[in-house]
Amino acid sequence: MTASDTEQTQERSPSPWHVAVVTADDGVLHVALGPTTAAVAEQLAGYVAGRADHGLWPAEAERVAALLRAGDREGAVRAYFDAVGGRWDGERLHLQTATPAAG
């Protein structure tokens, strides 16, 4: 196998995708996927920004909003999922990395 063969093989190998699924007792609430964890975090940040005022107590919602204003998307997502369920129904975040089948 030559260096050129290796490069061609690497070009054909599918890149992994990062997947996040938000669930509650009644089913799937949100799905985010992207080529990087940052891309998924950005999508999840949009989800928690839209849900925090309804799903969290005011102080917890403000903490999420403050983290988002500071640009800490991952921190905001963590804070949301740490707190959700205290006011209304709980939500769970499932994270997975998946590599598409070559074909």
Per-residue pLDDT 10s for the chain (103 aa) are: 455 554 555 556 688 999 999 999 999 999 999 999 999 999 999 999 999 999 999 999 999 999 999 999 999 999 999 999 988 889 999 999 998 877 6
Other C-beta atoms lying within 10 Å of the C-beta of residue 19? 15
Q: What is the DSSP letter of 96?
A: E
Sheet holding 27-34, edge to edge: 27-34, 17-24, 92-98
- 18, β-bridge pairs: 34, 97
Contact status, residue 101 vs residue 12, Cβ threshold 8 Å: no
Predicted pLDDT of residue 21? 98
Helices 37-55 + 73-83 axis angle, to 10: 40
Q: What is the pLDDT of residue 77?
A: 97
* Cβ-proximal residues to 61 (8 Å cutoff; 6+ apart), any chain: 52, 53, 55
| Boundaries of every domain in the chain | 15-96
